[in-house]
Chain A
Amino acid sequence: MIRERLHTSDRLAVVVVATLLSVPLLTQDQYYLSFFMLMVMYASLSIGWNILGGYAGYESFGHVAFLGVGGYTSVWLFVEFGLEPFLTAPIGALVAGFVALVVGYPALRLKGPYFALVTLIIALAVQVFVTNLPGLDASQGIFLSAPLDSPVRSQALLYLLMVGVLAVTIFVARCVERSKYGVGLYAIREDEEVASTQGINTTKLKVGAFVVSAALAGLAGGIYAWFLGFVTPSPMFDVQISILVVLIALLGGTQSWIGPFIGAVLLRVVDEILVLQFGGQAAQIMYGLVLVVVILYLPYGILPKLQQIARNRVPRRVRTLGTGGESG
Chain B
Amino acid sequence: MTLLELQGVEKSFGGLSVLEGVTLSIESGSIQGLIGPNGAGKTTLFNIVSGLLRPDAGTVIFDGEDISEMAPRRIARRGVGRTFQITRPYPGMTTRDNLLPGLLYAGGYDRVRDARTRATELLELVDLGGFGAEESRDLTMSEQKRLEIARALATEPELLLLDEVFAGLSHEDINQQIELIERIQSDLDITIVLIEHVMEATMAICDQVGVLANGGIIAEDVPAAVAHDQQVIDVYLGSGGEDVGGGVDA
A292-323 with Cβ < 8 A to chain B: 314, 316-318, 320-323
* A194 close to B90 (CB less than 8 A): yes
Is the CB–CB distance between A183 and B135 below 8 Å?
Answer: no
Among B56-75, those with CB < 8 Å from A are 71-73, 75
Q: Are A190 and B110 closer than 8 Å at their CB atoms?
A: no
Residue ID in chain A nearest B156 by CB atoms: A199
Q: Tell me which of B73, B102, B135 contacts A201 (CB under 8 A).
A: B73
B223 near A: Cβ within 8 Å?
no
Query: What interface size band does chain A fall in?
Result: 20 to 34
B98-130 interface code vs A (CB 8 A; 1 in, 0 out): 001110111100111101100000000000000
Give the Cβ gap from A13 to chain B, nearest Cβ, in Å: 19
Given contact pairs A194-B84, A321-B112, A322-B112, A199 touches B77 in the complex (Cβ within 8 A): yes
Please, which residues of chain A bring their CB within 8 A of the CB of B197? none
- Return the CB mask of B78-93 against A: 1 if under 8 Å, else 0: 0000101000101111
Bound-state CA distance A186–B92 (Å) is: 9
* Cβ A178 vs Cβ B72 within 8 A: no
CB nearest neighbor in A for B73: A199
Q: Is the CB of A197 within 8 A of B105?
A: no
Chain B hits for A318, CB < 8 A:
92-94, 97
Please determine whether B100 and A183 come into contact, CB atoms closer than 8 angstroms.
yes
Query: Which residue in A200, A317, A323 is a CB contact (below 8 Å) of B101?
Result: A200
Residue of B nearest to A204 (CB): B73
Interface size, chain B (Cβ < 8 Å): 37
CB of B212 closer than 8 Å to a CB of A: no
Within 8 Å of chain A (Cβ to Cβ): is B52?
A: yes
Q: Which residue of B lies closest to A328 (CB)?
A: B133
Q: Is the interface of A mostly helix, strand, loop or mixed?
A: loop
Bound state CA distance, A194 and B90, in angstroms? 8
A189 to B105, CA, bound (A): 16
Contacting pair B104 A180 (CB below 8 A)? yes
Q: Which of B76, B90, B115 contacts A197 (CB 8 A)?
A: B76
**Restricting to A155-179, which residues have a CB under 8 Å from any CB of B?**
178-179
A184 to B106, CA, bound (A): 11
A195-B72 Cα distance, complex, nearest whole Å: 9
How many whole Å from B52's CB to the nearest CB in chain A? Answer: 7
Contacts of A320 in B (CB 8 A): 94, 96-97, 133
Candidates B75, B82, B101; contact of A195 at CB < 8 Å: B101
A193 to B90, CA, bound (A): 11
- CB pair B110 A197 closer than 8 Å: no
- B112, A197: Cβ atoms closer than 8 Å: no
The answer to whether the Cβ of B155 comes within 8 Å of any Cβ in the partner chain is yes
Complex Cα–Cα for A314 and B92 (A): 12
Q: B50 — which chain A residues lie within 8 A by C-beta?
A: 197
Chain B residues with CB below 8 A from A178, complex form: 112
Closest B residue by C-beta to A201? B73
Contact of B104 with A183 in the complex, beta carbons under 8 Å: yes
For A183, A195, A316, the residue with the greatest tally of chain B CB atoms inside 10 Å of its CB is: A183
Residue A240 CB within 8 A of the other chain: no
A321 and B102 form a contact (CB under 8 A): no
Given the interface pairs A183-B112, A194-B84, A194-B88, the reply to whether A321 lies near B100 with Cβ below 8 Å is: yes
Decide if B33 is an interface residue (CB 8 Å cutoff): no
Q: Which residue of A lies closest to B138 (CB)?
A: A314
B69 → A minimal CB distance (Å)? 15
Against B, the Cβ 8 Å flags (1 = close, 0 = not) of A185-223 are 011011101111111111000000000000000000000
Measured CB to CB, the residues of A under 8 A from B are 178-180, 183-184, 186-187, 189-191, 193-202, 314, 316-318, 320-323, 328
Q: Which 7 A-B residue pairings sit nearest by Cβ, starting from the closest? A: A199-B106, A190-B90, A199-B105, A322-B112, A187-B101, A198-B102, A317-B92
With A180-B111, A197-B72, A198-B106 given, can you name 17 additional A-B contacts, CB distance below 8 Å? A187-B90, A187-B101, A190-B90, A190-B91, A191-B90, A191-B91, A196-B73, A197-B50, A197-B73, A197-B76, A198-B76, A198-B101, A200-B105, A201-B105, A202-B73, A316-B135, A320-B97
